[in-house]
Amino acid sequence: MYAVTAACGPVIYRGTLFPAEFRGDAFIAEPSGNLIKRIKLTEQDGLLKGANAYEGTEFLTSTDERFRPVNLFNGPDGALYVVDLYRGVLQHRTYVTSYLRKQIEERGLESPRALGRIWRITPTGAPKAKFDVGLGHASTAELVSQLANPNGWTRDTAQRLLVEKRDPAATPLLSKLAVDA
């Protein structure tokens, strides 16, 4: 099933914690449905195609009507991070029918507010998170070497730090990396 009503916060998984078959898949938050979709992406003859990764189910679902995933990120540890709005009502009051208003009041969904959460999603048996990747203090040469790291978050962060440094010594190192890669 592709139908969603509030798709948001997509991410392409580029981490290293999940099995290799997850890399390059799209994950899409769906706060109205209390779920996260995983779409397998394939390329054939220059055409990108997507298909649900699971038959008849989704990557992550919740029966908690306050679970509202709104954004997804690759983490430095290779895990998938989920920003959960954790709120009972998403609709603007203008769009709430009298039936929905009654449901909201009966189930106390209008409050409390400001209870957002961040989830770290990992495969079963994954190691505890380690966040001291040391890139903030890395030399230009060390940052260039991290551009070949299998973890997409590490590559992106190394690239950002290289751009911010504006170190001319990076130019020959980057040229060598481009030729050797």
Query: Would you state the structure tokens that stand for residue 150, as one six-digit string?
Result: 């299998």
pLDDT of residue 95: 73
pLDDT of residue 102: 86
Is the pLDDT score of 38 beyond 90? yes
Per-residue pLDDT tens for 76-133? 999 999 999 998 887 777 777 888 888 888 888 777 778 899 999 999 999 887 776 7
Q: Average pLDDT, whole number, for the chain?
A: 91
pLDDT of residue 97: 84
pLDDT (average), residues 138-148: 96
Per-residue pLDDT tens for 67-80? 999 999 999 999 99
Contacts with 46 (C-beta within 8 Å, 6 or more apart), sequence order = none
Q: What is the pTM of this model?
A: 0.86
